[in-house]
Amino acid sequence: MQYRKLGRTGLDVSLLCLGTMTWGRQNTESEGHEQMDYAAAKGINFFDTAEMYPIPPTADTQGRTEEIIGTWFKARKNRDKIILASKIVGPGMPWVRDTDGGKIKRAAILEAVEGSLKRLQTDYIDLYQLHWPNRPNYHWSKQWNFHPQDVDINAERDNFLEVLQTIDECVKAGKLRHFGLSNESAWGLMQYLDISTKHNLPRVASIQNEYSLTMRLFEPDLAEIALFENAGLLAWSPLAGGMLSGKYLGGGRPQGSRWSIDHRPAHRDTPQANAAVKAYIDVAKKHGLDACQMALAFVNSKPFVTANIIGATTMEQLKTNIDSINVKLSQEVLADIDTVYRQYPMPY
């Protein structure tokens, strides 16, 4: 396993981070425990979860993923061996929290932290992240109708300060250690960095955004900030929700797959995305590579990436994904990837 620094925290986190969002719906508790056992044995010391998991999110299953991690900690008695990240939901999920529209404010943070700690059966969370902003954001394919001009900038800055002050309160209480963002923009990241410096408050250690062969909006502006400001990327969905495996091509929905149970808009399933996936699979075949391992190795190779969040519903998938750490892409492979990217720069 390879390790990289988590911002300026001094922590060394594994380049592959174990994603957990299938546990409690697609995966049972015992399967989640098996995945954690295997990942830890392979040197993965970084797990990522969230209070809203599992995915697809429902009121009946919310929080179950954290509970599964908690029972694993209790059984294995190894909490100190794992760097654990979790997240607070943003507005839009009333079954989790609907006070003041579910916005991330002081009361919501304090409530969310206590809930996560209880489910996780731990006294502290190493990295606590805002799952998405209170204000409009361009993630989950919303870049096509992103309208930030109606945002009250002064109110947003006041909220950023309130968030950081609350995180600081939790850090001083020993409940949180470090702070991160997720699904955030370049402007938002820089605002948090600036406010934390001015007020001597917890600094952003990382930003968790979507990044893969088919979704490279993180480049170049956020990538530059992440690299130069030591707030590296935790890349989610590096296989585009499994699409880069090719299993969804031609309208396929294999039984047990996420797309077979997630009835939210399949924003990735566009003609351009299918064409891009076919082209990337052809590149992998040309060079004798597994398509998923090539896609993961591409993310692993980026200097602005702190960790690549992998997830799996089967042990076979998990083992293949973890083995991607040993794949190094040649200049010829990278050149072919670049050719496809130029043809399909934003396929969904």
**Catalytic residue among 38, 53, 124, 280, which?**
53
40 HSE (CA, 13 A, CB side):
18
Check residue 312 and report its DSSP letter: -
Would you call 348 a catalytic residue per the annotation?
A: no
Separation between Cα atoms, residue 231 and residue 5, nearest integer Å = 10
Across the chain, the runs of DSSP E, i.e. the strands, are 3-5, 12-14, 16-19, 46-48, 83-88, 125-130, 176-182, 204-210, 232-236, 305-310
Cis omega (within 30 of 0) for bond into 220: yes
Separation between Cα atoms, residue 36 and residue 39, nearest integer Å = 5
Separation between Cα atoms, residue 342 and residue 331, nearest integer Å = 16
Separation of CA 274 from chain center? 23
Active site residues: 53
